[in-house]
Structure 1
């Protein structure tokens, strides 16, 4: 019995900068009195929304309080649909793979993502992909991505009634942080070069498997067999 835990941005979706644009607008309207925000210096690939909020506050000298975090992220999520419509797309092969997993009895799938759960639902729901995921781990659980694996495993067991052997768990993502958080729980890691990191950069972190993309689902299934 296998468990697949998917990242979202750069793995399931090509965001086209939608998240960054939505966050920049939130920072501008909530904290900069309408002055433009520039978040391009923050290395946020593979990070969590709560980690990114802390980095934004540090950049702009904004006090890092729970109230400010809530204010920023609520506005960000409210901004997302417009930017998703204009900038984001589903990556090739993903709808076919997710649907095929749903039709199998020997594989379950969930999310392991740096998005808040509300953000994940907004992004995936926009493309009718949220229905494939009954459980997951999110930025709500911790600002540190390496903390998320145990939350995902616990929810997988609660949902399915199965205690998954880490050797049969695959963490699937497009950044070195995805690879690292998989290794923390002893899971296998599948890196895909559809985000901001090249195949060579990902290979340096020694994932168990590495693909250029998911455009040929047959290649994906061969790796998992």
Structure 2
């Protein structure tokens, strides 16, 4: 085993049909009696604690640890029901790619996400994808996404008893925050334009590779295996 893949969730593996944002709005009402929206708050690529603090600040609720915890607990309670909507789905090629990777004895897979661990489990279990990931780094580990990579790397090494070198680690995500997070600990990065950013917008952050979707399993595996672009089959 020599290669480690660390996956983002929202916009990369799945789309939740707005379930996460609706759950945050519901938690705001149920926990603090506030009717509001998440307008003007960046959500894509951010950690749940980062988002929670900005939402509370927007509505003049003190962002104490107790209030942040209360708000996020309310969000987790609201999330499962909101996921049961017809627009929540796994993104193109994800199941096929994860299945192909699961057969590779030289590749390990984990998560690197801004979701709380429990939120990640709820979302991926809803789509029957949770079983692909035995470890990861989550929003519970820190508010700053760029600090999450070392947590994921440490857990991967402990889980597999393998010292993964940074140059054989790939962070896969749909936002510039995923790319900068990977670069922060020396990992390679793969952007996928299935979220809110286009191929051109992601390419501006100089990832190792960018794909419009993950539907081309062979092309994604070629990047992971280090096959030069000119030598890849089409």
Which category of TM-score, normalised to the shorter sequence, fits these structures? over 0.9
Please give the root-mean-square deviation of Cα atoms over the aligned residues, in Å.
Answer: 1.0
For the residue of structure 1 that corresponds to 2:6, the secondary structure is: strand
Could you say which residue in structure 2 is the equivalent of 1:209? 209
Could you say which residue in structure 2 is the equivalent of 1:20? 21
For the residue of structure 2 that corresponds to 1:140, the secondary structure is: helix
Could you say which residue in structure 1 is the equivalent of 2:152? 152
How far 1:44 sits from its partner (Å)? Answer: 1.6
Could you say which residue in structure 2 is the equivalent of 1:64? 63
Matched, 1:29 2:21: no
Unaligned regions of 5+ residues in structure 1, if any? none
User: Is 176-185 or 63-72 further displaced after alignment?
Assistant: 63-72
Q: How many Å separate the matches in 2 of 1:188 and 1:19?
A: 28
Alignment of 1:56-95 (within 5 A): 56-86=55-85, 87-95=87-95
How far 1:75 sits from its partner (Å)? Answer: 1.1
Could you say which residue in structure 1 is the equivalent of 2:4? 3
Matched, 1:182 2:182: yes
Q: TM-score, normalised by structure 2?
A: 0.93
Q: How many Å separate the matches in 2 of 1:4 and 1:44?
A: 23
Alignment of 1:184-203 (within 5 A): 184-203=184-203
Q: TM-score, normalised by structure 1?
A: 0.96
Cα deviation, 1:25-79, whole Å, max 9, x if unaligned, reads: 1111111x2x532002101210000000110111000011121111111111111
Q: How many Å separate the matches in 2 of 1:89 and 1:19?
A: 13
Could you say which residue in structure 2 is the equivalent of 1:51? 50
How far 1:8 sits from its partner (Å)? Answer: 0.2
Cα deviation, 1:61-114, whole Å, max 9, x if unaligned, reads: 001112111111111111111211103111011111112222211000000000
Unaligned regions of 5+ residues in structure 2, if any? 226-234
Alignment of 1:158-169 (within 5 A): 158-169=158-169
1:137–1:148 Cα contact (<8 Å) kept = yes
Could you say which residue in structure 1 is the equivalent of 2:230? none
1:25–1:37 Cα contact (<8 Å) kept = no
Could you say which residue in structure 2 is the equivalent of 1:40? 39
1:48–1:143 Cα contact (<8 Å) kept = yes
Q: How many Å separate the matches in 2 of 1:37 and 1:90?
A: 29
Could you say which residue in structure 2 is the equivalent of 1:106? 106
How far 1:187 sits from its partner (Å)? Answer: 0.5
Alignment of 1:131-142 (within 5 A): 131-142=131-142
Q: Once superposed, which parts of structure 1, at least 4 consecutive aligned residues long, lie more than 6 Å away?
A: none
For the residue of structure 2 that corresponds to 1:72, the secondary structure is: helix
